[in-house]
């Protein structure tokens, strides 16, 4: 049967069993569409990275002898939306059977199912062969359990996959988790190797994007595009991580610094989320390197890395499929404020936010603690509508795809899911930000002050938030200590926090 196989932009898995044999009856189809670029305003580097990676992928398939049809964004045959493109091709090419790979996004899952239901030819969907787990595994794992803690899931994954395990089902090194040693502040030493950046000229694709009037955000240097856009380049980034960054990855995972955008982070999220690299090969390659260099690398560095990918990444995907579609509209804390304008411009005097926003706009990247404890922390403390927060995160980061963006942003960071992902809200005053980095040293505001015009805004917002949302936290044991401190707070002090917070929330762009 003449078959059309459809591949989405984040399904660039070279090792998929589909490609293991060539077949003249099979035509692969990929398309850059306005439907996919414009459902949220994306960072320009994200659009460029996807288009170039998709183009490289399709060329490699063709080089390997597969039949591929590819529509660039300005192709005259491109209908700019998925069902119209597919319907037209099925007719033109006399296709008798349609196949696709399960999308990771709910919206596309429904779209493709609906499309197939309307077809009068046969169709079939296949696994992407990328994740360790299946969509429904988490639901089964947590069946009958009271809490869905990532740590239990992670330990189970370690056992099931035999990763860093001893023969008697005990964890290598004696501990499951070295999180406590992953919290060092970076103060100039050890030296951070320069990040592995590419240096591509992307002027041509930028012109196509501009001509098609794709709505984008963020900044780009057309002569020096830094992201990997082919499997080989992704492998180079992985290799670089093993050779230069792994040795201190865990130690400085939570560190923040004005002069260091990437610290010891791997920058592999785009490579994995586009599926050019699989989580399994990333973990196996990194572990092999660790075992060969065990005398130089502490177990806490590699365990921290494995936990992020085998634990958090798979956990978030499972939660997404367990909780969708309801998850997307959860707003447990009833937050309704607009996201401050400075998230789109970087214009603020709060130094931590200025750095984190400008870096996000410059690089389409911020590391975890910037996303969680600076950008997300401020959005939550100012009680921002989670829809607004999601739209920003989904657009700005090169690795943002809904299954992992939504669970991290709405769940982990904004606590809008009432504790499905995180057991307590990730909020803090300025002291945490000061403890983990050096932003406060060169800030207009004083991190040690709680009153007055130059007091750090986070210090007021923190207590105001706890006060305002206290009903939501009264049964949360992990909040007991902070809530009892709040209760004991002198009334004048609390009033000062509330008054200043009002000023900040009403006018965040003035700070
Ligand atoms: P590293 O620090 O080198 O970590 C290695 C890998 O671990 C990452 O590449 C990633 O695949 C995985 N990982 C680490 N933390 C998480 C996590 N919490 N959830 C899932 N995977 C994780 N990650 C995304 O891939 N896409 C997103 O849209 C996204 N949005 C986020 C939004 C918020 C508010 C927060 C707090 C986190 C978000 N994350 C997201 C998780 C994490 O911040 C990024 O995966 C990480 O910063 C990517 O950089 P890296 O590859 O250098 O990561
Ligand atoms: Fe951020 Fe406050 Fe520190 Fe300034 S003083 S950098 S606003 S935490």
- Rounded distance, CA 370 to CA 360, Å? 10
- Ligand 1 centre to CA of 368 (Å) is 6
Across 184-264, the runs of DSSP E, i.e. the strands, are 216-217
In this structure, the residue with its CA closest to atom 8 of ligand 1 is 269
Pair 465, 381: CB distance under 8 Å: yes
Q: Are both 10 and 73 inside the same structural domain?
A: yes
Pairing state between β 216-217 and 42-43? parallel
pLDDT, average across residues 169-175? 94
Nearest C-alpha neighbor of 271 from the set 198, 379, 331: 198
Residue 223 belongs to domain spanning: 137-323
Going by alpha carbons, the residue nearest to atom 10 of ligand 1 is 269
- Give residue-wise pLDDT tens across range 64-123: 999 999 999 999 999 999 999 999 999 999 999 999 999 999 999 999 999 999 999 999
- Nearest residue to 102 (alpha-carbon basis) of 91, 118, 113: 113
Query: Relative to the CA of 241, which ligand 1 atom is closest?
Result: 3
Closest CA to 446 of 463, 458, 462, 437: 458
Mutate to test the pocket of ligand 1, among 153, 404, 428 (most ligand atoms within 8 A of CB): 404
Cβ–ligand 1 contact at 154 (below 6 Å): no
**Is 433 a member of any domain?**
yes
Q: What is the pLDDT of residue 168?
A: 87
- What DSSP state is assigned to residue 194? P
Let me know: does 403 contact 394? Beta carbons within 8 Å. Answer: no
Average pLDDT, whole number, for the chain? 96
DSSP reduced 3-state for 159: helix
**Integer distance in angstroms from the first to the last C-alpha of the chain?**
64
Q: Judge whether 204 lies within some domain.
A: yes
- Looking at the structure, do residues 109 and 224 belong to the same domain, yes or no? no
Per-residue model confidence as pLDDT tens digits over 363-411: 999 999 999 999 999 999 999 999 999 999 999 999 999 999 999 999 9
H helices of 324-399, in order, are 342-345, 351-363, 368-369, 377-381, 386-396
Answer yes or no: is 334 within a domain.
no
Nearest partner of 112 among 125, 130, 121, judged by Cα: 125
Structure confidence at residue 162 (pLDDT)? 96
Question: Which CA distances in Å does 156 have to 129, 314, 392?
Answer: 20, 12, 34
Is the separation of the CB atoms in 435 and 458 below 8 Å?
no
Does 330 reside within a domain?
A: no
Q: If 0-12 CB within 10 Å is exposed, 13-18 middle and 19+ buried, where does residue 366 land?
A: buried
State the Cα–Cα distance between residues 15 and 322, nearest whole angstrom: 27
Domain shared by 364 and 491, yes or no: yes
Does the structure's ipTM exceed the value 0.95? yes
* Domain identity same for 229 and 362: no
- Among residues 434, 395, 305, the alpha carbon closest in space to that of 47 is found at 395
pLDDT band at 145 (very low <50, low <70, confident <90, very high): confident
CA 23 vs. chain centroid, Å, equals 36
Which is it for strands 3-6 and 97-101: parallel, antiparallel or unpaired? parallel
**3-state class of 91 per DSSP?**
helix
- Domain containing 50 — which CATH number? 3.40.50.620
Task: Give the residue from 92, 126, 160 where a domain finishes.
Answer: 126
- Same domain, yes or no: 155 and 182: yes
CA atoms of 344 and 342, how far apart (whole Å): 5
Residues 279, 224 share a domain:
yes
Closest ligand relative to 373 C-alpha: 1
DSSP 288-340: HHHHHTTTTS-HHHHHHHHIIIIIIIHHHHHHHHHHTTGGGG--TT---BPPP
Query: What local confidence, expressed as pLDDT, does residue 179 receive?
Result: 79
* Residue 374 Cα: closest atom of ligand 2: 1
Residues 150 and 252 reside in one and the same domain: yes
Counting the structural domains of the chain, the total is 3
Asked, for residue 337, whether it belongs to a domain, the answer is: no
The band of 313, judged by pLDDT with boundaries at 50, 70 and 90, is very high
Are 295 and 408 within one domain?
A: no
What's the average model confidence in pLDDT over 344-348? 97
Residue 131 located in a structural domain:
no
Q: Which of 158, 193, 194, 192 is nearest to 176 (CA)?
A: 158
The answer, yes or no, to whether residue 229 has pLDDT greater than 90, is: yes
Question: What pLDDT shows up at residue 381?
Answer: 98
User: Where is 13: in which H helix or E strand?
Assistant: none
Quick one: what percent of the chain has pLDDT higher than 90? 95
> How far is it, in rounded angstroms, from Cα 131 to Cα 316?
12
275-289 mean pLDDT: 98
Q: Is residue 59 part of a domain?
A: yes
Together in a domain, 274 and 378: no
Task: Identify the H or E element spanning 88.
Answer: helix 82-92
Nearest-CA residue for atom 3 of ligand 2: 440
pLDDT attached to residue 97: 98
pTM > 0.95: yes
For residues 257 and 91, what is the distance between their CA atoms, to the nearest angstrom?
56
What is the rounded distance in angstroms from the CA atom of residue 241 to the CA atom of residue 247?
Answer: 9
Q: Name the residue at shortest CA distance from atom 2 of ligand 2.
A: 456
Contacts of 495 (CB under 8 A, 6+ apart): none
Quick: pLDDT tens for 176-218: 998 777 789 999 999 999 999 999 999 999 999 999 999 999 9
Among residues 65, 97, 126, the one where a domain terminates is 126
Q: Verify that 86 and 145 share a domain, yes or no.
A: no
437 and 316 in one domain? no
Alpha carbon nearest to ligand 2 atom 8, residue: 430
- In 120-203, the DSSP E strands lie at 122-126
CATH code of residue 366: 1.10.579.10
Q: Which ligand is nearest to the CA of 308?
A: 1
Q: Say whether both 356 and 292 belong to one domain.
A: no
Of the pLDDT bands very low, low, confident and very high (cuts 50, 70, 90), residue 144 is: confident
With a CB cutoff of 8 Å and minimum separation 6, the contacts of 363 are 45, 226, 261
Rounded CA separation 6/102 (Å):
10
Mean pLDDT of 487-496: 96
Ligand nearest to the CA of 274: 1
Query: Which tens digit of pLDDT belongs to each residue from 317-341?
Result: 999 999 999 999 999 999 999 999 9
Q: What's the pLDDT at 147?
A: 79
Best residue for ligand 1 mutational test, from 276, 307, 319, 368 (most atoms within 8 Å of Cβ): 368
Q: CATH number of the domain at 263, please.
A: 1.25.40.80
Q: What number does the ligand 2 atom closest to the CA of 458 have?
A: 2
Q: Specify the residue for token string 């996201």.
A: 339
Q: Which helix (H) or strand (E) holds 71?
A: strand 67-71
Q: In angstroms, what is the span from residue 7 Cα to ligand 1's centroid?
A: 24
336 domain residue, yes or no: no
CB 383 within 8 A of CB 335: yes
In DSSP terms, 68 is beta-bridged to 28
Please report the pLDDT score of residue 234 as a whole number. 98
Last residue in a domain, options 269, 289, 323: 323
Check residue 212 and give its pLDDT: 97
Are the C-beta atoms of 327 and 148 separated by less than 8 Å? no
Name every protein residue with a CB atom under 6 angstroms from any ligand 2 atom.
350-352, 430, 433-434, 439-440, 443, 445, 447, 456-458
């Amino acid at each position: 049967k003449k078959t059309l196989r459809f591949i989405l932009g984040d399904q660039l898995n070279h090792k998929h069993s589909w490609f293991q044999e060539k077949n003249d009856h099979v035509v692969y189809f990929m398309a850059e569409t306005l439907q996919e670029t414009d459902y949220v305003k994306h960072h320009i580097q994200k659009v460029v990275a996807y288009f170039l990676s998709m183009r490289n992928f399709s060329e490699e398939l063709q080089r390997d002898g597969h039949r591929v049809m590819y529509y660039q964004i300005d192709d005259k045959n491109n209908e700019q939306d998925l069902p119209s493109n597919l319907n037209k091709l099925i007719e033109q090419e006399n296709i008798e059977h349609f196949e696709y790979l399960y999308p990771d996004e709910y919206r596309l899952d429904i779209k493709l199912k609906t499309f197939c239901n309307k077809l009068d030819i046969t169709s079939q969907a296949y696994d992407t062969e990328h994740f360790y787990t299946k969509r429904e595994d988490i639901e089964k794992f947590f069946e009958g359990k009271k809490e869905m803690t990532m740590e239990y899931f992670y330990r189970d994954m370690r056992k099931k996959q035999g990763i860093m395990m001893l023969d008697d089902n005990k964890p290598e090194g004696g501990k499951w988790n070295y999180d406590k040693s992953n919290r060092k502040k970076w103060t100039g030493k050890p030296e951070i190797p320069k990040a592995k950046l590419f240096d591509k000229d992307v002027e041509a694709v930028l012109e196509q994007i501009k001509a098609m009037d794709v709505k984008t955000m963020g900044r780009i240097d057309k002569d020096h595009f830094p992201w990997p856009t082919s499997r080989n380049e992704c492998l180079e980034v992985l290799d670089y991580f093993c050779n230069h960054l792994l040795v201190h990855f865990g130690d400085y995972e939570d560190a923040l610094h004005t002069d260091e955008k990437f610290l010891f982070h791997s920058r592999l999220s785009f490579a994995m989320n586009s599926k050019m690299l699989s989580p399994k090969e990333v973990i196996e390659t990194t572990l092999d390197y660790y075992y060969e260099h065990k005398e130089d690398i502490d177990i806490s560095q590699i365990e921290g890395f494995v936990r992020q990918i085998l634990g958090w990444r798979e956990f978030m995907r499972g939660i997404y499929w367990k909780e969708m579609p309801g998850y997307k509209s959860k707003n447990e804390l009833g937050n309704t404020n607009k996201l401050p304008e400075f998230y789109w411009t970087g214009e603020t005097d709060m130094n931590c936010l200025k750095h984190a926003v400008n870096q996000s706009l410059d690089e389409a990247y911020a590391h975890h603690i910037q996303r969680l404890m600076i950008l997300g922390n401020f959005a939550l403390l100012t009680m921002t509508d989670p829809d607004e927060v999601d739209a920003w995160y989904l657009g700005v980061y090169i690795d943002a795809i809904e299954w992992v963006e939504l669970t991290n942003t709405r769940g982990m960071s904004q606590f809008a899911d009432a504790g499905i992902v995180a057991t307590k809200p990730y909020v803090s005053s300025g002291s945490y930000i000061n403890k983990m980095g050096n932003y406060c040293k060169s800030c207009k505001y004083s991190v040690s002050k709680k009153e007055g015009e130059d007091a750090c805004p986070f210090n007021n917002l923190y207590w105001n938030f706890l006060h305002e949302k206290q009903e939501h936290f009264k049964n949360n044991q992990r909040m007991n200590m902070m809530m009892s401190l709040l209760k004991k707070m002198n009334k004048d002090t609390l009033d000062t926090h509330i008054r200043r917070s009002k000023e900040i929330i009403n006018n965040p762009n003035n700070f």
